Amino acid sequence: MKRMVILYGGRSGEHEVSLMSAASIVRHLDASRYEAVLVGATKEGEWYLQDPAEALRARASDAPLAIAKGRRVLVAPGGGLVVVSDGASGVESLSCDLVFPVLHGTFGEDGTVQGLLEVAGLPYVGAPVLGSAIGMDKEKAKELWLSAGLPVVPFLAVRAWALADMAALARKVSARFGWPCFVKPACAGSSVGASKVASAEGLEAALRAALEWDEKALVEPFVNAREIECSVLGNVDPVAFPPGEVAPTHEFYDYEAKYLDPDGARLEVPASISPEQAERVKSVAVAAFKAAELAGMARVDFFIDKRTGEVLLNEANTIPGFTHISMYPRMCEAGGLSYPELINRLADLAIERHVMRSKLSFMA
């Protein structure tokens, strides 16, 4: 039996979402193949080994995981993970065969933790360092997709210094997109820091709110569209699953609609779109996955313009939600891959990519 470290929590605005996602993974983990080893990352960024009873508690309830402080877990370059005890035992190796980083957002989904795990020499689920960083940075992802000839939602990147001349910036946004428009952090997830701006008067406040979460913000036009998502799974030969649709009951699909309001959105899997649109979404999702150097998994999000039917790329999430209502596992299930089988496949892909990289030469 392999030991899978499930790393959850973390230093991001999506900490609580991670607690729910990780608990769901524990509940669906194939106990005949994997032993769950829980490592909780606090909001301050400290990693702690959790008591095995926490995994048992998660299996027996619908509650999110908790994080108890105790034995610290550290990354040992070239030596995997180690556990530090306060007592005489000192430092000991933490035996594990692979890591599933269930860390949504900053310091988990952006390549930082992936870099740590690469240095430690451990297989891990999901995209590598470069792909994780690209997927997190919505501006850079869209630039790559544009260079690959893929259709994206138009955008304007704004840094804090540009706010010194708000009048000029508002004129630029008005000329390019008109009103309303959307403002969001370039590198954040779950719609944290995102807002809809009705006029030039609200632009500065929206930008300042977004820039609390990242060093740059994106401004995008309002698109009267259906919100479509697509699960992609694989390494060198990724496959896409039947798309799903998110129909928010809020003004847009914000953090509250996603995670706090049980009636925040209607989730339809598969989406009620034409076969031609579904195939278009799937083909573009795979192309976007490849262009962004992704691996393992991603949920690729789209808009379908209600007026023209045009399919537009919005963003890719390299560690999508795994809660009981999350779209990524639900779309995989709609394509015939059950939740436990999905976890097994993700683990296999992680080890496959690790074996491939281990054959490379890194020294002359």
Last residue of a domain, one of 221, 252, 267: 221
The predicted structure's pLDDT at residue 261: 53
The predicted structure's pLDDT at residue 168: 95
Ranges of residues in the chain with a pLDDT under 50 are 253
The predicted structure's pLDDT at residue 327: 94
- Element at 54 (helix H, strand E): helix 52-59
144 and 166: one domain?
no
Q: Which CATH number belongs to the domain containing residue 189 in this structure? A: 3.30.1490.20
Count CA atoms closer than 13 A to 168's CA, side-chain side: 6
135 touches 318 (CB < 8 A): yes
Q: Which CATH number belongs to the domain containing residue 42 in this structure? A: 3.40.50.20
160 and 144: one domain?
no
In a domain, 364, yes or no: no
The predicted structure's pLDDT at residue 291: 98
169 and 267: one domain?
no
In a domain, 362, yes or no: no
The predicted structure's pLDDT at residue 263: 63
280 and 212: one domain?
no
107 and 239: one domain?
no
Q: Residue 198's domain spans which residues?
A: 156-221
What is the DSSP annotation of 62-130? SPPP-----EEEEEETTTEEEEE-SSTT-EEEE--SEEEEE--STTTSSSHHHHHHHHHT--BSS--HH
The predicted structure's pLDDT at residue 266: 85
189 and 318: one domain?
no
pTM here?
Answer: 0.92
67 and 105: one domain?
yes
In a domain, 199, yes or no: yes
In a domain, 130, yes or no: no
262 and 142: one domain?
yes
144 and 263: one domain?
yes
Task: Please state, in angstroms and rounded to a whole number, the distance separating the CA atoms of residues 306 and 315.
Answer: 19
> Sheet of 181-185: strands edge to edge?
156-159, 216-221, 181-185, 195-197
286 and 302: one domain?
yes
234 and 348: one domain?
yes
- Which pLDDT tens digit goes with each residue over 15-43? 999 999 999 999 999 999 999 999 999 99
- Write out the two tokens for 39: 């490592």
Q: Are strands 47-49 and 34-41 parallel, antiparallel or unpaired?
A: antiparallel
Bond before 270 cis per omega within 30 degrees = yes
In a domain, 110, yes or no: yes
90 and 178: one domain?
no
In a domain, 295, yes or no: yes
Last residue of a domain, one of 169, 190, 221: 221
63 touches 18 (CB < 8 A): no
